[in-house]
Amino acid sequence: MAPMPAPRGKRPSWFVYLIRCRDGTLYTGVALDVDRRVAEHNAGRGGRYTRGRAPVRVVAASRALEKRAAYRLEWQLKQLRAREKPEALRAWQPRRKPRRASR
């Protein structure tokens, strides 16, 4: 999932991703560019947890609207059991901020 260039004046989209490691365990992370981040994990430059567990593959990913929301979702997923995580991430929908009324 390549990052979409942010329109001028807009923030880039953040992603929460779930990868399955070689040993069958799951790793949850946050990134602007999921493909680049997975490549880093597979090259041994990702999170410490995945360094000895490559190759990894993406199980699910979801776009968050803001960095803060992405990290909040990551924390929430880490509280779940492994079998619950993929479905929870697929079902999650970002909340959009309400538009301000124009005058």
Asked if residue 78 is part of any domain, the answer here is yes
Asked if residue 27 is part of any domain, the answer here is yes
Asked if residue 100 is part of any domain, the answer here is no
Asked if residue 103 is part of any domain, the answer here is no
H or E, element range at 68: helix 67-78
Res 6: pLDDT: 53
Range of the domain at 52: 14-91
Burial per residue of 72-84, b for 16 or more beta-carbon CB atoms within 10 angstroms, e otherwise: ebbeebeeeeeee
For the chain, counts of helices (H) and of strands (E): 3, 3
Asked if residue 76 is part of any domain, the answer here is yes
3-state secondary structure of 16: strand
Averaged pLDDT, 2-10 = 57
Residue with tokens 């041994």: 44
> Could you tell me the CATH number of the domain that includes residue 41?
3.40.1440.10
Q: What is the spatial distance between Cα 1 and Cα 81, in angstroms, rounded to a whole number?
A: 25
Asked if residue 46 is part of any domain, the answer here is yes
Segment 45-83, tens digit of pLDDT: 988 999 999 999 999 999 887 999 999 999 999 999 999
pLDDT tops 90 at residue 31: yes
Number of structural domains found in the chain: 1
CA 30 to chain CA centroid, nearest Å: 4
Asked if residue 1 is part of any domain, the answer here is no
